[in-house]
Amino acid sequence: MRLRNLGQKLKGLLKQGLTPKELALSISIAVLIGVFPIYGTTTFILAFLALRLRLNLPIMIAVSYVLTPAQILLIIPFARLGEFLFGFETLGMDMESLQNAYTEGFFAVISKYSGRLILAVGSWLIIAVPVAVFLYIFLFQVFRAIKSSRKGSENKISSEIK
């Protein structure tokens, strides 16, 4: 039931005038930025990219908000992967210390963990960018197939009416 509902919503988005390319690009960029390892920056980055690239900001924000738990959970793994990839010593960093730093404010996190956040961004670039490219290609094919099947059914209905 829910999968059918999701399909109907995707068809509705295509009926609103979004091309499969715009829809796939909006979602893949939202996924890419939605797991960006610096918490609290995604909305600003998405707004800038949506305005700059003329993409669908509401879809991008919605996808980003859905990915917020994944973003939070991936901060430490991205940092650890960055430490490994770039040959840095492991810093004592866990979820509790991050939460405490965030309660002090965004700049407290930056001052305490700036080096690790840079490593996390580096590993995010290495992992998330290729994933987003493959996601874009996949979503573009899916949305193009949905649009062509919708056109086919519209043509069939119009030919039956005649």
In 3-state terms, the chain is what percent helix, strand and coil (to 5)?
A: 85, 0, 15
Name the pTM for this structure: 0.75
* pLDDT (0 to 100) of residue 116: 86
Grade residue 12 by pLDDT with cuts at 50, 70 and 90: low
pLDDT in tens, 123-138: 999 999 999 999 999 9
* pLDDT (0 to 100) of residue 151: 67
DSSP 8-class letter at 18: -
DSSP 8-class letter at 41: -
Grade residue 30 by pLDDT with cuts at 50, 70 and 90: very high
- In whole numbers, what is the pLDDT of the chain averaged over residues? 83
Indicate the burial class of 43 (C-beta count within 10 angstroms; 0-12, 13-18, 19 or more). middle
CB 63, CB 27: distance < 8 Å:
yes
The fraction of the chain above a pLDDT of 90, given in percent, is 45
Q: Report CA-CA distances (Å) from 113 to 76, 92, 124.
A: 11, 10, 16
DSSP 8-class letter at 106: H
Dist CA 36 CA 111 (whole Å): 18
The fraction of the chain above a pLDDT of 70, given in percent, is 81
pLDDT in tens, 32-69: 999 999 888 999 999 999 999 989 999 999 999 999 99
Q: Which residues contact 105 (CB under 8 A, 6 or more apart)?
A: none
